[in-house]
Amino acid sequence: MTSDPTQIQHLAQSQFAPVAQAYVHSPTHAHGPDRQRMLELAALLGPERVLDVATGGGHMALALAGVAQHVVASDLTLAMLHAAREHITAQGYPQLSYCRCPAEALPFAAASFALVTCRVAAHHFADIQAFVQESARVLKPGGALLVSDHIGLDDPDLDAFMDRFERWRDPSHVRAYSFAEWQHFCITAGLKLTHTEPYQWESYPFAAWTARIRMPDSERDQLEQWLLAAEPRYHDFFQIEVAEGRVQSLRGTFGIIMAHKPT
Amino acid sequence: MWKKIAGILAVVAVGFLIVRAVRQYRQDNVFDTAPAGGGEGTPPAKRSISPELLEILADPADKGPVKLISDNGGKEWLLNPRNGFRYPVEDGIPIMLIEEGEKHRDESLIEK
């Protein structure tokens, strides 16, 4: 795996540009259980300006549009922004703003937002600490950073197993961080971690999950064989469902992180 | 008679495949270009940066304010007046990548 930030960002763009529409229309991304929960945790009152980083299909930005005064949706991939804008505008919200930028170098003045959200994207970032640092900078005092993402595991074997299948499928998957690692990122950036909670993302239907990212057939088959050959403890933990010798589905681990900027 | 129908069907099928291939090619090459937007056949309305966004936009490197300017061709840019970096605005979306700003740098626009 490359550790060069520019290469990682280029990889993410080349991965997502051709499949932007697939992420707009993905039911799991559109209706994941975390989206409503994030809105509840955000407890927006109406007059806030909010930023959705790495908006992807724009599903979080769309949810925020109904409750915040102004929503800025950012993404590194221009095709994603166009797809998100088309989708959000068609839902009756033409007034959002869009901006192409990396999560690690946000082009906004300090203290611009009451809330920064980032949903199921931080595992792609080239420099996660820079993202948290930048989020802290653009937040107003008392503002909140609200992240939903894959969550790394404390058991190193389980964590390594998950890391392998996620990155095998999607080479732009950099890392799923544990709650403890998120706490460290927040403290380093001057934020106070105020809430964490795991949630269950629906299981990955193997065929659709590998097709959405256009995984080459040979790679998909090798990944399937590797999953089938894994020890029972991995099958149990990741709920790898097998029927007639084929992987039907499996699960990753997810969670929500909330941190506040001191007043 | 049947040969003629089969011939017509073959031509239609080939046409369909070509249209699909072109559509797929376009979809695969949206990496760095703005789509037509609007809908097929109708030119999209020119979009501008919203005032709400302009109010808070900053240079991604030095985090200072940027100014909205237009060049002779009417194209909009966001200028960092401290170093002349110009960030393009594509269909109302500012492209705030440091390498883009540097690529389009215009030293004559630096304000002393």
| Domain CATH code at residue A20 | 3.40.50.150
Task: Give the model confidence (pLDDT) of A198-216 as tens digits.
Answer: 998 889 999 999 998 889 9
B110 near A CB under 8 A: no
pTM of the model: 0.82
Of B37, B50, B58, the CB nearest to A107: B58
Q: B44 phi and psi, to 5 degrees?
A: -75, 150
Q: How far apart are CA A169 and CA A247, in angstroms?
A: 14
**Alpha helices (H) in chain A, listed in sequence order:** 5-16, 20-25, 27-31, 33-42, 59-65, 78-90, 128-138, 156-169, 179-188, 206-212, 217-229, 232-237
pLDDT of residue B112: 79
Residues of B in contact with A98 (CB under 8 A): 92-93
User: In angstroms, what CA-CA distances link A93 with A65, A66, A84, A105?
Assistant: 7, 8, 11, 27
Give me the mean pLDDT over the A233-260 stretch: 96
The minimum CA-CA distance between B4 and chain A, rounded to whole Å, is 39
- Its sign, for the CA torsion A199, A204, A209, A215, is positive
| Contact check, Cβ <8 Å, B60/A101 | yes
| Contact check, Cβ <8 Å, A107/B27 | no
Q: How far apart are CA A215 and CA A136, in angstroms?
A: 36
Give me the mean pLDDT over the A183-189 stretch: 98
Return the residue of A nearest to B28 by Cα.
A18
Give the residue among A129, A117, A227 at the shortest CA–CA distance from A169. A227
Q: Is the pLDDT of residue A7 over 80?
A: no
Residues of A in contact with B91 (CB under 8 A): 82
Return the residue of B nearest to A106 by Cα.
B60
Helices A128-138 and A179-188 cross at an angle (nearest 10°) of 50
Does residue A55 lie in a domain region? yes
* Number of domains within chain A: 1
DSSP track, A18-73: GGHHHHHH-HHHHH-HHHHHHHHHH---SS-EEEETT-TTTHHHHHHHTTSSEEEE
A99-103, A118-122, A141-145, A211-215: range with lowest mean pLDDT? A211-215
pLDDT of residue A212: 86
Return the residue of A nearest to B64 by Cα.
A109
Does residue A227 lie in a domain region? no
Is the complex ipTM more than 0.90?
A: no
Topology of domain B51-109, per CATH? N-terminal domain of TfIIb (2.20.25)
- For residue A167, the enclosing domain spans 5-202+252-260
Return the residue of A nearest to B48 by Cα.
A97
B2 near A CB under 8 A: no
Does residue A237 lie in a domain region? no
Does residue A236 lie in a domain region? no
B109 near A CB under 8 A: no
Give the residue among A100, A118, A93, A89 at the shortest CA–CA distance from B34. A100
Task: Give the model confidence (pLDDT) of A64-113 as tens digits.
Answer: 998 999 999 999 999 999 999 999 999 999 999 999 999 999 999 999 99
Does residue A247 lie in a domain region? no
Does residue A229 lie in a domain region? no
Does residue A207 lie in a domain region? no
**Chain B residues 47-106 with a CB less than 8 Å from chain A:** 49-50, 52-53, 56-61, 63, 65-66, 87, 90-98
